[in-house]
Structure 1
Amino acid sequence: MKGTVKQRGNTWTYIMDIGRDPITGKRRQKTKGGFSRKKDAQAALRKIQTELDEDRFVDPSKESFSSYMEFWFTSHYQKRIKETTASSRKYLMDKHLIRENPFANKMLSKITTEDIDAFYNLKLDEEYSTSTIRKLHQLLNQAFGQSVKWKKISFNPVINADPPSVKKEEMKIWSFGEIDSFLNQCKGERHYLTFLLAIYTGMRKGELLGLKWSDIDFEKKVIRIQRSLSYIPNKGYRLSTLKTKKSKRQVPIQDFLIKALKAHKDRQETQRKRLGEHYQDQNCTEIGTFQDPRNVLRVMKRICESANVTPIRFHDIRHTHASVLISEGVDIVKVQTRLGHSKPSITLEHYAHMMPNQDDEVADIFHNALQKSR
């Protein structure tokens, strides 16, 4: 890299070519003046030359945090994640990190760990969930981490920040009696099959609403889960890829579910003939179009009230399915595979408290082993 020292009036200034911007490709120079002696300017120049040679030089960015975030998100981050994830993260960034952030207009290179901790405390005071704050923490960590790689800052201030631990919502599940009451109450409802499959398979809501008839293998009695229905702002409902690689799976189903699916398919075929060209062959709903998840949730709430069962979230149906399997002694790895969790540890994290207490049995096994050795 080339550098020079020049006299300007009674002081000295160094000018150093520091290469091209890794993002824009434009040539960059570092200039600093006000040195009273030429040798002081030369010493400062040599220091920068050494840092450049050792790849340690960072020219602190003068751009604002908000402008950097916008650029980082659109040019880098959103290209590496699912469209549905990008949509939700963009909302979080715009609302919390740009519009409602005390350091949004502060220079990127001036933001400290103290600023970030104060931001987390502000969000706690505003009564946002710890889960939301952790997501903001992840966004900040990735954004600042990339700015270090781009040599806009020398250190990621998020590393030493202290986000709150996630407080998990209490898991609500139905008893066997409540499952029966709910299913009996919703017979004849348009969404009956959706609820029936949810209870007996533990599938996620998006996975259920993204099913196509080609995913049902009537001969092998399995459902192949290959996509999910998601909402993307300004675009509506779209089929998207699954949450993880392990989410793509086959779920075995019983004969009575096969029978229910075939009956539903026959009804749908009748609808198709009746509607003709107005029928849209999308998935397993009454008229072929996507089911609106909001309608499903409204129906579920109404049925819970009329059936007098514990009001739970749709996702808690999945928890109910898992809890029944675990309480019946099904191996945790088999439960993980059925639910589509990426690792058994995730299944254990969610449902360890439901595992049958086998401490007494373990004690007996150890005692009997010692007795046999004597």
Structure 2
Amino acid sequence: MAHIRKRGKTYSYTIDIERNPISGRRKQINKGGFTRKKDAEAAARKIELEMDENRFIEPSKEIFKTFMENWFTTHYQNRIKQTTVTSRRYILEKHLLHENPFANKEISKITTEDIDAFYNLKINGDYSSSYIRKMHQMLMQAFNQAVKWKKISGNPLVDADPPPVKTGEMSIWSLEDVQAFLNTVKGDRHYLTFILAIYTGMRRGEILGLKWCDIDFERKCIHVNRSLAYIPKNGYIFTSLKTKKSKRQIPISQFVLNELCTHKKLQEDWKELVGVLYENQDLVICTNTGTIQDPRNVNRVMKRIVKSANVINIRFHDIRHTHASILISEGVDIVKISNRLGHSNPKITYEFYAHLLPNLDNDVADILHNAIQGRSGGQMADK
């Protein structure tokens, strides 16, 4: 039974929960600061009801900073890609442990108001909404785990209000730009790299991780199975793909197939020229000696060709957006585009490229009118 008492101008409650099996002392829950007695009584009844239904969780006194370090080391970093650990560790240390007003607060006392104030602090610090969203995702996962570990009874992130991601104006090439770029890059050793980017929409890492065993020449398709990524202290390595949907099959045209065959013959020439120094890793895109191609060299070639072709300067990843925009303009179904790009959900594709979709609402009124007129045999029009 809860004991309610008045201290000064406010009320507090005390609830005995159990005895310590070693010391024999009673463990109690105390909370004060209620301006009205009935508010203290209501809060105490809620605790007692949770205890009766075995739902009560004794609030943890663990400091947020201590919890986050333990959560990240023992749980989180083992469940994300190696390529992500470094960037997430930076967010943890800079933003969640140091530049955070509630870093030294007990995890059970952190409120939704604290979380929203933290987001506002980062917004005022001119951090992008997408970057703040990454902090939000980490916090959401950490507090969800705290609930599972029975350190807190609820997640304050559930009702928090992170800033919406602002999608800036997308930089893409027109069909004329694509043709000008390809005409200029033809003959360069990275010609096939850009053919694959433009005609398949593959990510740069996926292209540089592509092997000849991934090419099905009979069925005319590419199997995307891995990606080339940079790991600090380990250099460039092949890693698993971003999501399950990233591992996909991409149908290719006869033109792309022919370019692959031409490039394969070119590689055979490299092998003969280099001899025993050639390191055969079965890579489609590689150096003249067969080793992994540094992505920075691809970027340098792209900048040079962009300048020579006199087309707008875009990032390599924007070629992927260009690929999608061409398919959208040609009326390809958004689900098919999503599968081709390897998005985890067609909703992501739709939200990202919605502004490129043609406005099909203009004919809705006529469609409705024609349906009604057809169903009524034109009788309504005669009245």
* Structure-1 residue corresponding to 2:221: 222
Q: Report the alpha carbon displacement of residue 18 of structure 1 after superposing the two structures with TM.
A: 7.8
Q: Report the alpha carbon displacement of residue 157 of structure 1 after superposing the two structures with TM.
A: 2.2
Three-state SS of the structure 1 residue aligned to 2:154 is coil
Q: Report the alpha carbon displacement of residue 282 of structure 1 after superposing the two structures with TM.
A: 5.1
Matches within 5 A, 1:13-92: 16-17=19-20, 31=27, 54-92=53-91
For residues 15 and 333 of structure 1, the distance between their equivalents in structure 2, rounded to whole angstroms, comes to: 57
- The answer to whether the 8 Å contact 1:61/1:153 transfers is yes
* Structure-2 residue corresponding to 1:236: 235
Matched, 1:289 2:291: yes
Unpaired runs of 5+ residues, structure 1, are 1-12, 20-28, 35-46
Q: Report the alpha carbon displacement of residue 252 of structure 1 after superposing the two structures with TM.
A: 1.5
Three-state SS of the structure 2 residue aligned to 1:329 is coil
User: Deviations for 1:242-284, whole angstroms, at most 9, x for unmatched residues?
Assistant: 2222222211112222121112112222323414145241522
Q: Report the alpha carbon displacement of residue 188 of structure 1 after superposing the two structures with TM.
A: 2.9
- The answer to whether the 8 Å contact 1:18/1:30 transfers is no
- The answer to whether the 8 Å contact 2:213/2:282 transfers is no
Once superposed, what is the RMSD of the aligned Cα atoms?
2.9
For residues 329 and 292 of structure 2, the distance between their equivalents in structure 1, rounded to whole angstroms, comes to: 35
For residues 33 and 263 of structure 1, the distance between their equivalents in structure 2, rounded to whole angstroms, comes to: 76
For residues 128 and 97 of structure 2, the distance between their equivalents in structure 1, rounded to whole angstroms, comes to: 19
Please say which of residues 317-326 and 85-94 is displaced more in the overlay. Answer: 85-94
Aligned-partner residue type, residue 16 of structure 1: R
* Structure-2 residue corresponding to 1:366: 368
> Equivalent of 2:311, from 300, 309, 312?
309
Q: Which portions of structure 1, spanning 4 or more consecutive aligned residues, are displaced by more than 4 angstroms? A: 29-34, 47-53
* Structure-1 residue corresponding to 2:327: 325
- The answer to whether the 8 Å contact 1:215/1:224 transfers is yes
For residues 33 and 204 of structure 1, the distance between their equivalents in structure 2, rounded to whole angstroms, comes to: 55
User: Deviations for 1:215-242, whole angstroms, at most 9, x for unmatched residues?
Assistant: 1112221111112222222222222222
* Structure-2 residue corresponding to 1:171: 170
- How many residue pairs get aligned? The number is 342
Distance 1:196 1:33, change over 3 A: closer
For residues 28 and 331 of structure 2, the distance between their equivalents in structure 1, rounded to whole angstroms, comes to: 71
Aligned-partner residue type, residue 117 of structure 1: D
- The answer to whether the 8 Å contact 1:92/1:136 transfers is yes
For residues 232 and 282 of structure 2, the distance between their equivalents in structure 1, rounded to whole angstroms, comes to: 20
- The answer to whether the 8 Å contact 1:327/1:355 transfers is yes
Matched, 1:114 2:116: no
Please say which of residues 330-339 and 104-113 is displaced more in the overlay. Answer: 104-113
For residues 98 and 293 of structure 2, the distance between their equivalents in structure 1, rounded to whole angstroms, comes to: 34
* Structure-2 residue corresponding to 1:206: 205
- The answer to whether the 8 Å contact 2:201/2:319 transfers is yes
Aligned-partner residue type, residue 303 of structure 1: I
Q: Report the alpha carbon displacement of residue 30 of structure 1 after superposing the two structures with TM.
A: 7.3
- The answer to whether the 8 Å contact 1:18/1:52 transfers is no
For residues 367 and 17 of structure 2, the distance between their equivalents in structure 1, rounded to whole angstroms, comes to: 78
Distance 1:225 1:372, change over 3 A: same
For residues 196 and 202 of structure 1, the distance between their equivalents in structure 2, rounded to whole angstroms, comes to: 10
For residues 169 and 275 of structure 1, the distance between their equivalents in structure 2, rounded to whole angstroms, comes to: 49
For residues 58 and 208 of structure 2, the distance between their equivalents in structure 1, rounded to whole angstroms, comes to: 50
* Structure-2 residue corresponding to 1:6: none
- The answer to whether the 8 Å contact 2:278/2:290 transfers is no
- The answer to whether the 8 Å contact 2:140/2:157 transfers is yes
For residues 26 and 180 of structure 2, the distance between their equivalents in structure 1, rounded to whole angstroms, comes to: 73
Q: TM-score, normalised by structure 1?
A: 0.82
Matched, 1:352 2:354: yes
Distance 1:18 1:348, change over 3 A: farther
Unpaired runs of 5+ residues, structure 2, are 1-15, 31-45, 378-383
Distance 1:122 1:32, change over 3 A: same
* Structure-2 residue corresponding to 1:139: 138
Aligned-partner residue type, residue 297 of structure 1: N
- The answer to whether the 8 Å contact 2:212/2:282 transfers is no
Matched, 1:95 2:97: no
For residues 232 and 248 of structure 1, the distance between their equivalents in structure 2, rounded to whole angstroms, comes to: 21
